[in-house]
């Protein structure tokens, strides 16, 4: 049987409600026999902020690079980006502290820019046509969860990923916390910073309405990322088998930055796919 791997990423170092939510989504996805899961909490890894040095760009990155990595700092970007690249779908969760994603989530997102077109490196496009589900956690109902979700969606679309929501299902129909993703809240929890603050069990109200709606959105995110990942994987195979036409993906065919010897861009020039244009030339 064909399998897909879903990677869950928690952008909180607290090992609390956001981690609980991401794990619930993964547990639900794993109930499908074709799903394998992996989980990382970014707080367990060393991540140094991106400085925009461009050393991972294709005109500097070695053509024989085996994995995406940060060439400026010795951190764990290689581990995390390799996991991301090897996954078939992504669930990214972040708490909302100041009306946006956490600092550690932003570092992770910026480190992943080498999957996008502007980096024009060996790993550009490796996340294209893979689904992503979003989990954003706030301490009140309206605390920037949608703003954080939109930030992640824009980033994901820049990498060619396909955002999926938390469409209601027979197992978890409406009402739920949201349908665009798991935009959830701990406002009715006994302790809003508690580890399971998103859950029905931790809800202080009777009935536990907020926790009930949170859980439904979280589970539906897991389901839809899993199904989308398999649909896209099988669809890609059918597309290739059927020999349907598609555009060749190449960010640049003319390049004005002189590449280093042995770099990815230099290889593309040597292969005749890219033309180097000297700076200052009006062509």
Residues 180 and 266 in one domain: no
Q: Cα–Cα distance between 89 and 162 in angstroms, integer? A: 9
- pLDDT of 283 reads 45
- pLDDT of 1 reads 86
SS (H, E, C) 212-231: HHHHHHHHHHHHHHHHHHHH
Residues 178 and 258 in one domain: no
* pLDDT mean by block of 10 residues, the chain; 283 residues: 96 96 98 98 98 96 96 97 98 96 97 96 97 97 94 97 97 97 97 96 96 98 98 97 95 95 97 88 49
Residues 107 and 144 in one domain: yes
- pLDDT of 28 reads 98
Residues 47 and 145 in one domain: yes
Residues 213 and 262 in one domain: no
Residues 219 and 202 in one domain: yes
Residues 219 and 260 in one domain: no
Residues 166 and 112 in one domain: yes
Residues 148 and 261 in one domain: no
- Looking at the structure of the chain, the number of domains it has is 2
Taking the CA atoms of residue 17, residue 19, residue 25 and residue 27 in that order, the dihedral angle to the nearest 10 degrees is -110
Q: Cα–Cα distance between 121 and 66 in angstroms, integer? A: 12
The neighbour count for residue 100, using CB atoms within 10 Å, is: 16
Residues 234 and 274 in one domain: no
Residue written as tokens 């981690």?
19
- CATH number of the domain that residue 10 is part of: 3.40.50.360
* 80: containing domain: 4-248
Residues 216 and 274 in one domain: no
**60, 53 Cβ separation under 8 angstroms:** no
Residues 65 and 157 in one domain: yes
Q: Cα–Cα distance between 128 and 161 in angstroms, integer? A: 5
- Residue 144 to residues 7, 98, 99, 173, Cα–Cα distance (Å): 24, 8, 4, 24
């Amino acid at each position: 049987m064909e399998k897909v791997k879903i990677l869950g990423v928690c952008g909180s170092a607290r090992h609390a409600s956001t981690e609980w939510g991401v794990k619930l989504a993964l547990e639900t996805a794993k109930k499908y026999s074709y799903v394998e899961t992996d989980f990382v909490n970014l707080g367990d890894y060393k991540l140094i902020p991106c400085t925009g040095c461009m050393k991972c760009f294709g005109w500097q990155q070695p053509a024989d690079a085996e994995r995406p990595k940060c060439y400026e700092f010795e951190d764990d970007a290689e581990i995390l980006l390799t996991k991301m690249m090897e996954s078939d779908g992504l669930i990214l969760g972040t708490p909302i502290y100041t009306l946006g994603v956490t600092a550690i989530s932003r570092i992770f997102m910026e480190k992943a820019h080498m999957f996008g077109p502007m980096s024009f490196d060996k790993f550009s496009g490796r996340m294209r046509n893979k689904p992503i589900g979003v989990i954003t956690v706030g301490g009140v109902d309206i605390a920037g969860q949608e703003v954080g979700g939109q930030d992640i969606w824009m980033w994901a679309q820049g990498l060619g990923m396909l955002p999926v929501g938390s469409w209601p299902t027979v197992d978890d129909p409406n009402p739920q916390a949201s349908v665009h993703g798991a935009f959830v809240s701990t406002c009715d929890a006994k302790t809003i910073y508690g580890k399971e603050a998103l859950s029905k069990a931790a809800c202080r109200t009777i009935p536990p309405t907020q926790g009930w709606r949170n859980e439904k959105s979280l589970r539906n995110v897991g389901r839809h990322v899993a199904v989308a990942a398999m649909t896209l994987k099988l669809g890609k195979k059918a597309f290739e088998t059927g020999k349907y036409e598609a555009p060749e993906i190449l960010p640049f065919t003319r390049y004005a930055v002189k590449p280093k010897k042995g770099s990815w861009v230099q290889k593309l020039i040597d292969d005749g796919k890219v033309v180097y244009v000297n700076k200052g030339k009006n062509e």
